[in-house]
Structure 1
Amino acid sequence: MIWLFLKEHAQWFLFYVLSLISLNGLLVLDSGFYNVSILYLNSVYSVLFFFFIGWRFLKDWSYLKRVENQSFEDLDRMQSPYMSHLVERFQREYAQQTNELNQMKIQLLEERDDLLAWVHEVKTPLTAMKIMLEQMEVGKLQTRLEHEWLRLYMLVDQQLHQTRLQTMEQDNRLERVELRKVIANEIRSLKAWCMEKGIGFEVEELELEIVTDTKWLSFILRQILSNAVKYSHANSEVHITMSQQQGNWALHIRDCGIGIAPEDLPRIFRKSYTGSVGRESTTATGMGLYLAQNAATKLGIKLLVNSKVDEGSTVTLVFPKQNEYMKLYGM
């Protein structure tokens, strides 16, 4: 309180020092004051000043104590005219900023709804294209077209989940999920791409049920598996295994691909970060792992990545125990 008071009224002390210098200069230079005691005048002046400072300190201290014990409604009656003017100015500025912020929020929500509507509209012709591709004669052209269709579908799917990610808590449904079925569905969706590159999957027994949100878990696995296929060497395998880590089940997805440079590893979950490998490809967006990490965090899943250049990468999903899910969502 004392230090705050000194900072608030520093100009008073400066005025006191300057006044004292002026007074002593006048006493020394003016011959009419030769018989006046300089020490006496300085003492009287200083005592009066510090009496005033003490009175002012007690008044400010009492005011702050009353402010701390009063409600916001009572503070208006305790303000000085200057303080009331400042408060009114701040209130007008705050109201203006709040109004602008609300307008921006409304605009953002409208843009998000428009984007969601656009994504759903795009999915309709994509579904029609998929049906036509399935009716085509099997061959290299069909495989190539299915691969390009899959790339387009993945981009639309990424955009859809990126838009929904901010409100993910409102779009959650926790249920018991058979991990094997979810992984099988995602592998099946990558069939055309895998056939084109000669990529195979070696999956161990995954007879495990976990409590999570099926849709968002599928999205996370989709990003990881598509990266595994994209960066794997041709005619190689992706290995999917399970283990236990400190009582938690962990899912490991290991590819035999180009790997990730050590300097890129700490930054792979950053938004739009493509790394040294991604810069060589025009198809890399740097959004897959960023979105997967954000969705996993909201589901209580830990996402870990280990990688060595030219040896491949291993992505690990550590699932929380059921009671940890209950705490996470207040169930």
Structure 2
Amino acid sequence: MIYKFLRERLSWILFFVVLQLLVLFTAYIDNSIPFGALLYIVFLSTLLFAAFLFVRYQKETRFYKSLLSWDDTYDLASIASAGSPFEEIVMDMLNTQTGRYKRESSLHLARIEEEKDDLMSWIHEVKTPLTTMQLMIDRLGDETLKSQLMYEWLRIHLLLDQQLHQRRIPYIENDLFIEMTELEPIVNKEIKALRSWCIHKGIGFEVNLPIKEVLTDAKWLGFILRQLLTNAVKYSSASDIMIESGERNGQAWLSVQDFGRGIDPKDLSRIFDKGFTSTTLHKDSAATGMGLYLTKKVADSLSICIEVESKPSVGTTFTLIFPKSNDFVRITGSM
């Protein structure tokens, strides 16, 4: 800040130096003027000027130092009050621009909330005819046609469910209910929801749950499992999907293992990135790149660690490691 202040006042400093040199030069060429006395006056003037610069530095930089330490919010209260006409101009412009940005931000937030509410309403409206379609499909006598229609119905249902939860995730803290949750009902519910798809692809499940309960939110754990099982079924051929639970270092874990196409090693670090699909099958238009991204966001909110092991053409294992009870103090404030 000192360097910037001196650079800002460089023209004034040079002007003062030139004046002092002019005085000394005049005394040098005019013998009637005592050179020593003028030299003493120049020395005192320089000391006074240095003191003047020091005082002005303290006063003039206070405002700009507070600007440098200003945070990213629109709160101008942390900025020092203006002490000069130019600082008042800066503050007036900051107040004007901040007020405009606040109004625009409020307007954008209101529009986003309105669009979110409209989309949520639309999703709920669409679920009604989907339920009717499911009942109609169940009454079909042609098993082949029934299986094909249920497969397409399930794809629509899962996409709508993903969109619904995507809109809820920003407010997930308001929707958490942490308790000891039984794994078997949640796992069975998600397997049952994918039954028609699994039958269509010839995929079965092997479930082994020695650890019966984990500390988590049942609804959001169901969403995580839904995404992992959907991926496992989508990228697997006729084979079994293994679902197991266990305990490691005092922490419960739940794994979902498939024997599908696997994940390329160079993609493993990016699978949770928003919109990322695959570098090997980049032309797969059915992939949205949102499932694992949303899974990771929900898992982080639940303090669940996700480990991934995968080999191309061998399969993939996702392991959910659940937190201990004291880890949830950070989330809920009490347990």
Same fold, TM exceeding 0.5? yes
Deviates more, 1:237-246 or 1:294-303: 237-246
> Could you say what secondary structure the match of 1:167 adopts?
helix
> Could you say what secondary structure the match of 1:306 adopts?
strand
2:124 is the counterpart of 1:124:
no
How large is the Cα RMSD of the aligned pairs? 3.1
Alpha-carbon distance between aligned partners in 1 of 2:266 and 2:79, rounded to the nearest angstrom: 59
Partner of residue 255, structure 1: 258
Partner of residue 51, structure 1: 48
- CA gap 1:93/1:180 in 2 versus in 1, 3 angstroms: same
2:303 is the counterpart of 1:300:
yes
Q: Percent of counterpart pairs with the same letter?
A: 35
2:266 is the counterpart of 1:270:
no
Gaps of at least 5 residues in structure 1 are none
> Could you say what secondary structure the match of 1:149 adopts?
helix
Deviates more, 1:191-200 or 1:19-28: 19-28
Partner of residue 178, structure 1: 182
Q: Which of the numbers 29, 46, 54 marks the counterpart of 1:33?
A: 29
Alpha-carbon distance between aligned partners in 1 of 2:191 and 2:219, rounded to the nearest angstrom: 15
Taking structure 2 as the reference length, the TM-score comes to 0.86
Cα offset, 1:269, TM superposition: 0.1
Gaps of at least 5 residues in structure 2 are 67-76
Q: Which of the numbers 234, 243, 247 marks the counterpart of 1:244?
A: 247
Measured against aligned partners, the alpha-carbon deviations of 1:256-290 in whole angstroms (never above 9, x if no partner) come to 01100011100000001001244242211000000
Equivalence map 1:166-205=2 (5 Å) = 166-205=170-209
> Could you say what secondary structure the match of 2:273 adopts?
coil
- CA gap 1:38/1:263 in 2 versus in 1, 3 angstroms: farther
- CA gap 1:167/1:42 in 2 versus in 1, 3 angstroms: farther
Residue identity opposite 2:223 in structure 1: F
Deviates more, 1:142-151 or 1:46-55: 46-55
- CA gap 1:33/1:121 in 2 versus in 1, 3 angstroms: same
Partner of residue 110, structure 1: 114
| Number of aligned positions between the proteins | 322
Residue identity opposite 1:260 in structure 2: I
Partner of residue 228, structure 2: 224
Partner of residue 105, structure 2: 101
Cα offset, 1:135, TM superposition: 1.3
Query: Residue 112 of structure 1 contacts residue 163 of structure 1 at CA under 8 Å; is this kept in 2?
Result: yes
Measured against aligned partners, the alpha-carbon deviations of 1:174-213 in whole angstroms (never above 9, x if no partner) come to 2332101100110111111111111111111345122322
Q: Which of the numbers 150, 160, 169 marks the counterpart of 2:154?
A: 150
Cα offset, 1:146, TM superposition: 0.5
Residue identity opposite 2:260 in structure 1: G
> Could you say what secondary structure the match of 1:166 adopts?
helix
Alpha-carbon distance between aligned partners in 1 of 2:137 and 2:83, rounded to the nearest angstrom: 75
> Could you say what secondary structure the match of 1:107 adopts?
helix
Taking structure 1 as the reference length, the TM-score comes to 0.87
Query: Residue 244 of structure 2 contacts residue 255 of structure 2 at CA under 8 Å; is this kept in 1?
Result: yes
Query: Residue 305 of structure 1 contacts residue 316 of structure 1 at CA under 8 Å; is this kept in 2?
Result: yes
Query: Residue 24 of structure 2 contacts residue 39 of structure 2 at CA under 8 Å; is this kept in 1?
Result: no
Alpha-carbon distance between aligned partners in 1 of 2:317 and 2:252, rounded to the nearest angstrom: 16
Cα offset, 1:81, TM superposition: 3.2
Deviates more, 1:320-329 or 1:296-305: 320-329
Deviates more, 1:198-207 or 1:14-23: 14-23
Measured against aligned partners, the alpha-carbon deviations of 1:83-103 in whole angstroms (never above 9, x if no partner) come to 233222211211111111111
> Could you say what secondary structure the match of 1:263 adopts?
helix
Alpha-carbon distance between aligned partners in 1 of 2:283 and 2:172, rounded to the nearest angstrom: 33
